Chain A
Amino acid sequence: MRIDLESLSKNFGATRVLRDFSLQIEDGEFLVLLGPSGCGKTTCLRTIAGLEQPDSGRVLLGGRDVTHAEPRDRDMAMVFQSYALYPHLDVFENIAFPLRVRKAGAKDVERRVRQAAERLGLGALLQRRPRELSGGQRQRVALARAIVRQPNAFLFDEPLSNLDAKLRVEMRAELKRLQHDLGVTSVYVTHDQAEAMTLGRRLAVMKDGVLEQIGAPEEVYSHPANLFVAGFLGNPAMNFFPGRVDSDARAFVAGTVRVPLDAAQLDRLPVGAAVTLGVRPENIDLGRTSNDGWIGGRVYVSEAMGNETLVIATVGEYQVCCRTTPEARFDFEAPVWLRLRPDRLHFFDSATTRALWP
């Protein structure tokens, strides 16, 4: 079901957790809320759930105002970071709980619980108590409890963050497929960029209770709206060079870093004003010999990751991270030359932090 958040504000004491926060979530959509801890993403989710009341603003569910409705009247299913399984009930009864509350018939409960358990591979564990399960199994029970009924929406509050890395990747894929198969509107809160990039059809980046940018993950990644989004998304993070545009030289200058600009860029970028250049590590070419227009530096450290090699080079007063082929090996302090790919440059207004280019 469609969810609309209309200029929500929420304060905890003097802390402003949500500020005039608006968001539309389409029916059947998988939306990911991404942000650093304390950015208000969990509060936002809990406001949708009805576990938190906004100080002002409205929450609409399928066009109906539910701002002050109890959680039970919104009929949404939530998966908690702590799983929140009922310790006194076995797996079967944990999954059956939402059905029992709705007074479903015994046969119906049996069928639907088995179906949900089967879907998540819990068939053999139905008689166990939560404390007898591993973290991954608990996570599956929490998911089964959510999908055992047809809720208006799924709300996920960092559901994978307590799992170990390998399991997290597995569950991530499974969750994506599950949501696709069920087609239920989903809101997913995380601070993990891999989850944010892979899971959502749309990605909303938050900071300090404000929506910084929303769009398809690829779009947010390739066209970050401001310095915060550019720096937050991507691992390793985007390299930044605060400098200014020199119109005589037809170049961007930041200390020893000079990047030639084309006519269109020169046309768009403010001459003389403080501008920050951003380049992602994968958009930097690395060479051992000098070429025309390449920037010279020295290897600070080189990290072979197996599937890629990360080279951190010292260029003037900057440390620049470059992503290169897995076979590449560089010694400490080896001279290197860098080329920032001209078609992959990002420029930001240093004062307002807004994106100027592309």
Chain B
Amino acid sequence: MARRILTGFIANEAGKAGFRRVVVGLSGGIDSALSATLAAEALGPANVHALIMPYRTSVPESRAHAEMVVRGLGIASQVVEITPMVDAYFGVFPDADQVRRGNKMARERMTILFDHSARLEALVLGTSNKTELLLGYSTLFGDMACGINPLGDLWKTQVRALARHVGVPEAVVQKVPSADLWAGQTDEQELGFTYERVDQVLHLLVDRRYEIPEVVVAGFDEAFVRAVARRIQTSQYKRRLPVIAKLSPRTIDREFRYARDWGR
């Protein structure tokens, strides 16, 4: 059922936005593989264009996995190396730390995706899941940027289950999640907890509206629960439009309220 709803979502919302095609960045990881698979089912493989955008430090396995997904789905793809652009920039700012470099790579990929949106008349398909969106574990105007996102209401653990269900290659489903921004990086090491564990806490806090003490009573470490709650709160800005200084009687998104699907 989730598969039907999400493929229906992609076909319907892309169509209403005026697109028959989507373009998606394939990292070699499970999220973008699932997005691409759902899109190929929704629109037909001929209407899904994948971009593989490695940096020189990306592990070769990532590209191999992305190409495995492309072959499996029978979709078109193109490799666009981001090394020249990113290195040219950091040639000017050589002392930048890993976080700045990682964000720059994510935003470099975003500009390439949106350029290909215009080039191919294809809507940019999102790949951010609910877990990373709520933890703020993603780059604003980088990997978060998209036209529509079929995965944004699925926990990471649900992404895994659905990916397996729709036939994403097992090598992609089973590998350790990583943003692949520097050598040896893994999500769970960087976050300090496992997706299994944090998804349970997020489910209680968000879906079930548990208060923090209630989550603790349900069997989770208080410091861990508080850290998760803090991450949600401090990353709230990433999930909203930029704040507008109010002057007029009718301010965008405050008193001026229309659905995005207005008239469609």
Chain B associates with chain A: no
Residue numbers of B with Cβ under 8 A of A are none
